[in-house]
Amino acid sequence: KQEVTQIPAALSVPEGENLVLNCSFTDSAIYNLQWFRQDPGKGLTSLLLIQSSQREQTSGRLNASLDKSSGRSTLYIAASQPGDSATYLCAVKHGSWGKLQFGAGTQVVVTP
């Protein structure tokens, strides 16, 4: 059974610092991995999708890496801003039509 873990559960940094969020999964036979952002009481916004054949994806200040063999993904957010304050979730999928299995999330606070 796949288990997805996110460490740390919460993180507070001053504005301008780089953020490093970790996601680990126990079953390496994934189809893809996706990072999401969730603001309080809201839905999920897709940030980055990494297919199983890829090692990383980048979008603006965001970079996500994937190491399937070790069951790890890392989301880097450069030069954090107060607007980056949110909960970040990672999710893995098995098979193109499989369901997403989510980690518990990392709650990020960026202080001005």
Partner 1 sequence: SAVISQKPSRDICQRGTSLTIQCQVDSQVTMMFWYRQQPGQSLTLIATANQGSEATYESGFVIDKFPISRPNLTFSTLTVSNMSPEDSSIYLCSVPDRNTEAFFGQGTRLTVV
Indicate the residue among 52 and 74 with the shorter CB distance to partner 1.
52
User: In 10 A of CB 108, how many CB atoms?
Assistant: 20
Instruction: Please identify, using beta-carbon distances, which residue of 18 and 46 lies nearer to partner 1.
Output: 46
Q: Does 31 bind partner 1 (CB under 8 A)?
A: yes
Identify the bridge partners of residue 75 per DSSP, sorted by sequence position: 21, 64
Q: Which of 35, 17, 29, 27 is nearest to 73 (CA)?
A: 35
Binding footprint of partner 1 on the chain (CB under 8 A): 31-32, 34, 36, 41-46, 49, 89, 91, 93, 96-97, 99-100, 102-105
